[in-house]
Amino acid sequence: MDTSFNATTADRIGQMKYSAVNFTHIKQTSIKAQREIAQLTFAERKLILKRIRTYIIENRDQLIAKVQRETLKSRTDALIGEIFAVCDHLVFLEKNLEKFLQDKKIPTPISLLGKKSRVYCDPLGTILIISPWNYPLYQAIVPITSALMTRNAVIYKPSEFTPLKGVVEEILEYAFEDQRKSEEWVQIVYGDGEIGIGLIDLKPNKIFFTGSVSTGKKIMSQAAEYLIPVELELGGKDAMVVMNDANIERASSAALWGALTNTGQSCTSTEKVYIHESVYDEFKSLILKKAASIDQGVDRDGNCEIGLITTKAQEKVILTHYEDALAKGAKELMPVDIDINNHMISPIILENVTKDMLTYHEESFGPFVILIPFQNEENLLEEINSSKYGLSGCVWSKNIERAIQFAHRWETGGVSINNVMLTEGNHSLPFGGVKESGIGRYKGEFGLYSFCNMKAILIDGNHNNIDPNWYPYTPEKYRLMDQMTEGLYSSGIFNFIKFAFNGLKVEGLSNKLGRFKKR
């Protein structure tokens, strides 16, 4: 195990004092910046994305080292979660931006003959992005580029625990080739929750928040005062379901990775593994065998599977859940190594976890592998749907149709079938939760729209006619419109003719009555 990185940098507060933040200036700058950003063509936006990607790829070693210093994650976790995943998102945007965001032609019903309908993906204005500490580069670049590419100004507040001070600035300055633009288009404000509250008071046009349920509730309540729309990407208690016909060898490897990647500090970590009782023992022995060879530390060469725990507060949550589970009868399947001075908690593999334990219901956000046998699929579905969370999950079965049916009935935001944590691995898919796991979707086509004012446009090419539904109303007009309505919404060709005939008549009458008031 390599713990040679001194963990003193974790928990450091990279924040500004509330009194030192010039909120008025931030507000004014974002309004001015948004007017400039609104002018960006698709080609200019794609170039920005390409340059961000180039910077990240060319400087990945240095970026990984900075991420590791603040998060204490393993090098491979940093490469996969912060470099690969971010570049994948950037490529997705580059390829699809124009297709998804160009003005859209929308069908117009026959009752509006002669008119055309469009949807414009216009910007909302300024997006306030507030991020957590667990994936500081990803949680910066993915929402910032989503907001920018939809032509919004951005105010970004990273977590006070992993601010990556100066990193995003450097990336954006390279991408924009202009220091002023990078400072004004994406204003980065370092600070804690108090600063976050101050930024919400600036009444941005939308808040994109990623973090805990408790902070999400506070943000939503503050935003409600100003009626600011919020997107909340919150916590989870994701389950893995292993059916009796699953590939146990593969599923056990997946469970270990899903539970332990980023040392379990992922919103979509596999927090509980439900295994059919007929394959439980086989699954357990495989997972224990595989867990025994896990190396832990903040490595420099890619040798460690998992890193350390990023914050003191999270260590406390993990240890509380662990001690609570043991006190209430959970069985530890492998000795747990705890070295708090070095931010180290080794994998906690438990069975006999029961409903009265904290780790059964609450997000543990740590290196827990919790094995629970089940007998009946229907009862299991009821059980997992009783969770207050619903972020994502995975189901394992060789019978894909069976797994699909299970996924449909699971109250959650995403389900991987025969894989783990992989819905978020495809940037074309929407991401987000249901219930207390959040509100809204980002990423993919649907996610991009959540940063847009999806503006409805109707173009009437007819400059002379008076529409039938305009004044004046008369009994004759009412009769014709009534017949027209019946014809339009009843079935059969005869009714369609009735609609067309009465439609023409009512149009003629409307034009005759014109703008004059009836007497």
Q: C-beta of 493: minimal distance to ligand NAD in Å?
A: 53
Q: Which of 45/272 has CB closer to ligand NAD?
A: 272
Q: How far apart are CA 434 and CA 432, in angstroms?
A: 7
452 catalytic? Reply is no
3-class secondary-structure state, position 156: strand
Torsion of CA 178, 184, 185, 191, to 10 degrees: 120
3-class secondary-structure state, position 54: helix
C-beta separation of 384 from 405 below 8 A: no
* Cα distances (angstroms) measured from residue 357 to each of 112, 170, 212, 321: 60, 45, 20, 8
* Cα distances (angstroms) measured from residue 114 to each of 79, 98, 111, 120, 482: 55, 28, 9, 20, 21
Closest CA to 258 of 431, 436, 419, 427: 419
Q: How far apart are CA 13 and CA 513, in angstroms?
A: 72
Catalytic residue among 233, 305, 315, 424: 233
List contacts with ligand NAD (CB under 6 A): 130-134, 157, 159-160, 192-193, 196-197, 210-212, 215, 218-219, 233-236, 267, 363, 365, 391, 438
Q: Which of 192/507 has CB closer to ligand NAD?
A: 192
Q: C-beta of 62: minimal distance to ligand NAD in Å?
A: 24
Q: C-beta of 159: minimal distance to ligand NAD in Å?
A: 4
Q: How far apart are CA 132 and CA 273, in angstroms?
A: 25
Closest CA to 375 of 251, 279, 288: 279
List the structure tokens of 17. 């004092």
Q: Which of 391/481 has CB closer to ligand NAD?
A: 391
Q: C-beta of 157: minimal distance to ligand NAD in Å?
A: 6
Question: Taking the alpha carbons of 387, 393, 395, 396 in that order, is the dihedral positive or negative?
Answer: negative
Q: C-beta of 492: minimal distance to ligand NAD in Å?
A: 51
Q: How far apart are CA 262 and CA 254, in angstroms?
A: 14
Q: Which of 212/453 has CB closer to ligand NAD?
A: 212
Q: Which of 48/260 has CB closer to ligand NAD?
A: 260
Q: Which of 237/477 has CB closer to ligand NAD?
A: 237
Looking at residue 333, its amino acid is L
Phi, psi of 269 (to 5 degrees): -55, 150
Q: C-beta of 421: minimal distance to ligand NAD in Å?
A: 12
Nearest residue to the partner ligand NAD, using Cβ: 196
Q: How far apart are CA 285 and CA 279, in angstroms?
A: 10
Catalytic residue among 70, 82, 94, 267: 267
Q: Which of 1/202 has CB closer to ligand NAD?
A: 202
C-beta separation of 333 from 323 below 8 A: no
Q: Which of 5/365 has CB closer to ligand NAD?
A: 365
| Residue where the block lists tokens 């004004």 | 184
Q: Which of 130/298 has CB closer to ligand NAD?
A: 130
Cα 424 to its chain centre, rounded Å, is 9
Q: How far apart are CA 71 and CA 299, in angstroms?
A: 12
Q: C-beta of 148: minimal distance to ligand NAD in Å?
A: 19
Q: How far apart are CA 166 and CA 163, in angstroms?
A: 9
Q: C-beta of 195: minimal distance to ligand NAD in Å?
A: 7
List the structure tokens of 428. 């074309």
List the structure tokens of 319. 């240890």
Cα 341-342-347 angle, rounded to 5 deg:
115
233 catalytic? Reply is yes
3-class secondary-structure state, position 206: strand
Q: C-beta of 160: minimal distance to ligand NAD in Å?
A: 5
Cα 140-143-144 angle, rounded to 5 deg:
70
Catalytic residue IDs: 233, 267
